[in-house]
Chains A and B, each alone.
Chain A
Amino acid sequence: DTAVSQTPKYLVTQMGNDKSIKCEQNLGHDTMYWYKQDSKKFLKIMFSYNNKELIINETVPNRFSPKSPDKAHLNLHINSLELGDSAVYFCASSPRDRSLSGNTIYFGEGSWLTVV
């Protein structure tokens, strides 16, 4: 059973379209994230979210918005897609506790977005 699952795995879409990537975790974690990995494999956090706060990386365009219907889900909505949005988007989650293992972030397998 996949701990952090995201769909779709591959997405090809045209510039200007609006798309969503869904994410679900079955680990009972309280914090979820979205990371972006560019073509050079550099990983950069976009959002972190728990039931108390949403932290947005200030470099993320407001065309990107996270939506969490419940604790186990954090979907990523992207409006007016641009060529530069092409990347791999990873959903992730982490538990509440502050032990060493509590800092562990568990990643999904990624969603490959290609904007043409």
Chain B
Amino acid sequence: QQQVKQSPQSLIVQKGGISIINCAYENTAFDYFPWYQQFPGKGPALLIAIRPDVSEKKEGRFTISFNKSAKQFSLHIMDSQPGDSATYFCAASTSGSARQLTFGSGTQLTVLP
């Protein structure tokens, strides 16, 4: 059972455009929602994260929008750059002694120059 569903699987955007990746979750106990960025040959790295007590968080060109009632959250990349080309994963977890992240299936973003 996939607890975090991510779409689209792949995304191609022109330089300067807006990239939008969506995720939906099922477990209402999730209280932490990060986005990870993974470049080829590297491990995933935290990009930005949000807790459900806020509806939006912005860090530079990256924004998370969170809709608790719909159990959905999304990543917006403004002014997308070729260097943003990577695989993006949404994730969710609950607080606890072992903070296990449940990942979405990933989105391969390609930003064309």
Q: Which A residues are within 8 Å of any B CB, using their own CB?
A: 4, 31, 33, 40-45, 48-50, 52-53, 55, 90, 92, 94, 98, 100, 102-110
B32 is an interface residue with CB less than 8 A from chain A: yes
Which one of A41, A43, A103, A110 contacts B32 once the chains associate, using CB atoms below 8 Å? A103
Whether A108 contacts B49 in the complex (CB less than 8 A), given A42-B103, A53-B97, A53-B98, comes out as no
Nearest residue (CB) in A for B94 is A103
Bound-state CA distance A15–B32 (Å) is 39
Chain B residues touching A, range: 20 to 34
Q: Please name all residues of chain A whose beta carbon is closer than 8 Å to the beta carbon of B63 when the two chains form the complex.
A: none
Interface 1/0 per residue, B63-80 and A, CB below 8 Å: 000000000000000000
Whether A31 contacts B98 in the complex (CB less than 8 A), given A43-B89, A90-B43, comes out as yes
Which one of B43, B51, B93, B105 contacts A107 once the chains associate, using CB atoms below 8 Å? B43
B18 is an interface residue with CB less than 8 A from chain A: no
Whether A43 contacts B44 in the complex (CB less than 8 A), given A100-B51, A103-B93, comes out as yes
